[in-house]
Structure 1
Amino acid sequence: MNQGHRFAAPGPDVYRYPLLIRHLLQSAMDNRSTNEIVGTDGRRHGYAELDRRIGRLGAVLTDLGVRPGDTIAVMDWDSHRYLEAYFAIPMLGAVLQMVNVRLSPEQIVFTLQDSGATLLLFHSDFAPLVADLKGRLPLIDRWIVMHDGAGVGATSADAEYEALLAAEAELHPFEDFDENALATTFHTTGTTGLPKRVAFSHRQLVLHTLAIMSAFSMRPERQRLTTADVYMPLTPMFHVHAWGLPYVATLMGVKQVYPGRYIPDRLIALQRQEDVTFSHGVPTILQMLLGALGDARPSRPWKMIVGGSALAQPLHDAAAAHDIHAFAGYGMSETAPVVTLARLDSDDPDEERGRARLAGQPIPLVQVRVVDTEMQDSAEGELVVRAPWLTAGYGTDEAASADLWRGGWLHTQDVARICDRGDVEIRDRLKDVIKTGGEWVSSTQIEELVMQYPDVAAAAVVGVPDARWGERPILFVVASGHHPTLAAMHAHLSLHVDRGAISRYALPDRLIMLDDLPRTSVGKIDKKALRNMLA
């Protein structure tokens, strides 16, 4: 036997490098970035001060009795404090619970109870809500209020965030532990049933961070995040780690701008003051920004990942006209979230324009398949995924967890197909596909075509039961000018029927005009609410 390739067992001094969030921060510190963190209260500080503030927060929480395995909840807007919590809480071995502040009070109580949170950091904007909920949350025994310089009135808090940090002389000596320890938890925001808890480990979040960063390095300059960019999140930090970008931005040492609550004019003002060049958000946010810009443009070209809902062609084109380079990304709460990003490397402008709207190609370490109900590969069917950072399940809900991972792949519940160049195209949600006349009709495809009509600002399509056809599509429209008629919509859509883009069964039976479309807590169109409206 050849003995030449044998190695001795690692010695006692070999460092077994665990993949921990603290190592992301350490790498950022070692690179000694000279860029700033711009906070919501007007503060500006460098990365060395970010490190000190994280160390002080760790010491404060330890003094308050936080121990490894405890869950600490945060209710805040997109702030420098949230960034500090992204690091300090998991680095203690505790679990960061990101509270969706747009849920109903009853749902917020449920998520806090379900996570087992014992300490709450909350923005003063939520002080009245916290006062109402306090008696219903017996597990929480510490309440810390935060604010953005305007001061706070009487609250039920035990202490104030900045005062605690200022009084803390020591920096917590963060240590290593098992990389599979839980780091974060939050709840999905579907339109049916109670929110479901998902959780992610240090190892998962480190790998997710590295994969996103490497994916950007593989994109052309107009999609790339570099150390010369200025980053501002426009996805709530309580929603799926703000798509993981705060971890990426910190690891890279880029300048970061935290906007607080999303007020369109303030977002545009911050972009101009700080020369923001990289953001991410749902289509609704992009529409808000375009409305606030009017005929103007940002101070510099602005790269923006758009996800959560389809990036419609008219919205993409309107953004491009304003020097905003929008391109799609795809993921979900269960995937941490990023699994694909659009890739714009074509020499054909028309092809590139179309590819920018697709979910894109898998980022490194992600595998995707499109399968039928028997888990056999299919040209069009459900998208299933594998990656080393996907949630293992829904807390203690064993049935839902088993269904999520049926067949050893995570089921997205999205209907998709994979194009010739490897781009994933999301066709619809399984629950939103309209089964009519023996065919499957994509509600999102109809919506996108309706959005190309000049007087349409927003559109949604849902299926309703029909005795003859199984289901029939109903169209909801928010007008931007004259109210379109059903006949006008049929004439517009029939052009696409004639060229074979959609079936004749896709022509809607009814048109309902609304002042606005109902949306979920993270800005997606709430189709359950539309179905209830019809019922």
Structure 2
Amino acid sequence: MYAYNYQLLIKHILESGVKYAPNQEIVYRDLHRYKYKDMYERVKKLANVLESLGVKEGTKVAVLDWDSHRYLECYYAIPMVGAVLHTVNVRLSPEDILYTMQHAEDEVVFVFKDFLPLIETIKDKLDTVKHYVVMTDDGMPETSLTDMEYESLLKDADSNYDFPDFDENTMATMAYTTGTTGRPKGVWFTHRQLVLHTLAVAVSVLGRSSAIRLSDREVYMPLTPMFHVHAWGIPYVSTMLGYKQVYPGRYEPQMIAKLIFSERVTFSHCVPTILQMIVDNLPEGVKFNNWKVVLGGSKLTKGLALRAREKGIITMAGYGMSETCPVLTLGFLRPEVRDLSEEEQIEYMIKTGFPIPLVYIRVVNENMEDVKNDGKEMGEIVARAPWLTQSYLKNEEKTKELWEGGWLHTGDIAVVDELGYITIVDRLKDVVKSGGEWISTLTLENLLSMHPKVREVAVIGIPDEKWGERPLAIITPMGEKPTPEELKEFLMKFVEEGKITKWAVPDRYEFVDEIPKTSVGKIDKKVLKQRYS
């Protein structure tokens, strides 16, 4: 064979970006800034450090850090030497962190100083770990763990490294689902999957019409943690496109606002609770300059989208899961809806969206038959794409359930409209089954979020002797507390418009100062159900 057998490897993403924009900036908090060409040199140094620590093809290397330039270097160097990057979810309980690191069989651990106390308490149970390396913004802290410090190792390392070619189906990254039921499950992705995901997302955000369509001059800052499904894959996309990148470290409202204004950030992504926090804490009279934000993880309500728009933030929904790398859909504006008014377009931008290129999505009933495209009949979202996890690590039983019938089962209940837009109406386990009817908690949350006295809302099903279940609305007020009668009256308008049935209107409302969240900022309905059932 004469032709070169080109493998889709992560190194090609980095090398494309460095060649195109060698002098582009990468910024970490207000502490550090350097250029793409410097980052590439450090990635080569890190590759030599990894080799000196005995890392080889297939070695699991764990990282515990906030969003930083160091984490970005690990995104590249670890998989590019053929090892596996394990992005540890630092917001899990210590018990679950221990479980995931044992289950992954991590051999080398890069740990930021904030997480040293945690690792020191579990190190005796981490039998597979051979080396620890401390990451820090200042001097080496005192620790019994190791005397190896990230910057010192890089400083002494050779900056020459020839990244090898290998099979594109080699495992590159792994992470664990935020187990809302049972233990977290391991998901993993290959070089080929990550390259294809990067290309498809780039084509989507640059080429398809949307409210946040990107240009070639964006300044990117993640507000979804880098430990959470590759920060939605956007650091890879941003590097390939040569964007300026800003990493905020630990998420602190003042630092985030400072970086957005001082570095002129134009593009981010986050879960709705983070956006809510930013909108709530922005001083009166202060506005962003059309800051573009993709929202995922839970529903972007119309109320939040409109409040964000008043503050100069343009939003759009996206959808994916830990199992899907993650992006499956985005709130594109199809040709049929581009001429609608801004208010009407918002209705499409907050939907779960339309599949990005190479993604096939169906919404099916229990017999795997497609539901009608009428925006009413509910079914489960199942998906196929070239970047979906092929299995749960060492868990055949759950893998079989995940891939039943050759489609990945999301557990999300949705409807499809006549244009093919998907709207998630609930998680399979959250939908309220009341008197033989299904009531969508997400639809109720969206409608209640538009009430001027409602800051945040969660709806759950609670047991009911007569009807099986009834919906309960848990509300954080904006200031003055609305009465249950006011809220029922408000929902009755939507009953008259045909958006919900009278049966869906909750009988009971609870008012709280704060709604509990999971480790990735989603509303924790498991906790709410335990509290109110």
Q: What TM bracket, shorter-length normalisation?
A: over 0.9
**Is the Cα contact below 8 Å between 2:297 and 2:319 reproduced in 1?**
yes
Q: Deviations over 1:241-266 (max 9, x none)?
A: 00000000000111000000110111
Q: Tell me, yes or no, if structure 1 residue 328 matches structure 2 residue 317.
A: yes
2:531 partner amino acid? M
Q: Tell me, yes or no, if structure 1 residue 347 matches structure 2 residue 333.
A: no
- CA distance in structure 2 between the aligned counterparts of 1:142 and 1:296, rounded to whole angstroms: 51
Q: In structure 2, what is the equivalent of residue 471 of structure 1? A: 469
Matching of residues 179-194 of structure 1 within 5 Å: 179-194=168-183
Q: Tell me, yes or no, if structure 1 residue 371 matches structure 2 residue 369.
A: no
- Among 179, 186, 196, the alignment partner of 1:207 is 196
Q: Deviations over 1:408-450 (max 9, x none)?
A: 1111111112222222111111111111122110001111111
Matching of residues 113-512 of structure 1 within 5 Å: 113-149=102-138, 152-154=141-143, 156-220=145-209, 222-298=211-287, 300-344=289-333, 346-348=338-340, 349-379=342-372, 380-512=378-510
Q: Tell me, yes or no, if structure 1 residue 75 matches structure 2 residue 64.
A: yes
Q: In structure 1, what is the equivalent of residue 91 of structure 2? A: 102
- How large is the RMSD of aligned CA atoms in angstroms? 1.4
Q: Deviations over 1:435-474 (max 9, x none)?
A: 1122110001111111111111111111122221121111
**Is the Cα contact below 8 Å between 2:29 and 2:259 reproduced in 1?**
no
1:365 partner amino acid? L
More divergent stretch after superposition (33-42 vs 310-319): 33-42
1:296, distance to aligned residue in structure 2 (A): 4.0
**Is the Cα contact below 8 Å between 1:20 and 1:206 reproduced in 2?**
yes
* Identity among equivalent pairs (%): 48
**Is the Cα contact below 8 Å between 1:276 and 1:300 reproduced in 2?**
no
**Is the Cα contact below 8 Å between 2:45 and 2:160 reproduced in 1?**
yes
- CA distance in structure 1 between the aligned counterparts of 2:412 and 2:462, rounded to whole angstroms: 20
Q: Tell me, yes or no, if structure 1 residue 58 matches structure 2 residue 47.
A: yes
**Is the Cα contact below 8 Å between 1:143 and 1:156 reproduced in 2?**
yes
More divergent stretch after superposition (379-388 vs 28-37): 28-37
**Is the Cα contact below 8 Å between 2:210 and 2:332 reproduced in 1?**
no
Q: In structure 1, what is the equivalent of residue 37 of structure 2? A: 48
- CA distance in structure 2 between the aligned counterparts of 1:451 and 1:216, rounded to whole angstroms: 28
1:423 partner amino acid? Y
Q: In structure 1, what is the equivalent of residue 375 of structure 2? A: none
* Alignment gaps of 5+ in structure 2: 373-377
Q: Deviations over 1:390-425 (max 9, x none)?
A: 001211111110111111111111111222222211
SS of structure 1 residue aligned to 2:245:
strand
More divergent stretch after superposition (308-317 vs 483-492): 483-492
SS of structure 1 residue aligned to 2:382:
strand
Q: Tell me, yes or no, if structure 1 residue 525 matches structure 2 residue 518.
A: no
**Is the Cα contact below 8 Å between 1:41 and 1:149 reproduced in 2?**
no
- CA distance in structure 2 between the aligned counterparts of 1:102 and 1:386, rounded to whole angstroms: 30
Q: In structure 2, what is the equivalent of residue 31 of structure 1? A: 20
1:511, distance to aligned residue in structure 2 (A): 1.4
Task: Report the CA distance shift for 1:297/1:419 in structure 2 as closer, same or farther (over 3 A).
Answer: farther
Task: Report the CA distance shift for 1:519/1:336 in structure 2 as closer, same or farther (over 3 A).
Answer: same
**Is the Cα contact below 8 Å between 1:233 and 1:279 reproduced in 2?**
yes
SS of structure 2 residue aligned to 1:502:
coil
More divergent stretch after superposition (495-504 vs 400-409): 495-504
- CA distance in structure 2 between the aligned counterparts of 1:206 and 1:470, rounded to whole angstroms: 47
- CA distance in structure 1 between the aligned counterparts of 2:141 and 2:514, rounded to whole angstroms: 34
- CA distance in structure 2 between the aligned counterparts of 1:32 and 1:448, rounded to whole angstroms: 42
- CA distance in structure 2 between the aligned counterparts of 1:260 and 1:104, rounded to whole angstroms: 20
